[in-house]
């Protein structure tokens, strides 16, 4: 993870950034996958809570904000 930040103990890490000044593609891919993974985990938590509650649609009505937050995810850059 040091390469992602570009510094280690106050010194620049060689090769942390490509010569064009941008992060390497693997680091960018990781940065784009992280929010999706976190949102997917929240979705699984919501689905399990819904299933275990036994309230059917009553659960969705009582936890509407949770459902809206799950749906209102950020779009990937360029879309």
Sequential pLDDT tens for the chain (79 residues): 444 544 455 555 555 554 567 889 999 999 989 988 998 999 999 999 999 999 989 999 999 998 888 776 666 565 5
pLDDT, position 69: 81
Phi-psi bin for 23: left (phi > 0), alpha (psi -120 to 50), beta? Answer: beta
Q: Which candidate, 67, 68, 70, places its Cα nearest to that of 41?
A: 70
pLDDT at 49 (0 to 100): 95
Q: In this structure, what token pair is assigned to residue 65? A: 């904000």
Contact 43, 70 (CB under 8 A): yes
Radius of gyration, alpha carbons of the chain: 19
pTM: 0.58
């Amino acid at each position: 993870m040091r390469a992602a930040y570009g510094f280690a103990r106050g010194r620049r890490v060689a090769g942390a950034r490509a010569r064009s000044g941008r992060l390497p593609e693997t680091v960018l891919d990781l940065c784009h996958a992280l929010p999706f993974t976190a949102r997917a985990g929240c979705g699984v938590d919501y689905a399990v809570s819904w299933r275990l509650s036994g309230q059917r649609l009553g659960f969705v009505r009582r936890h509407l904000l949770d459902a809206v937050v799950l749906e209102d995810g950020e779009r990937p850059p360029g879309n």
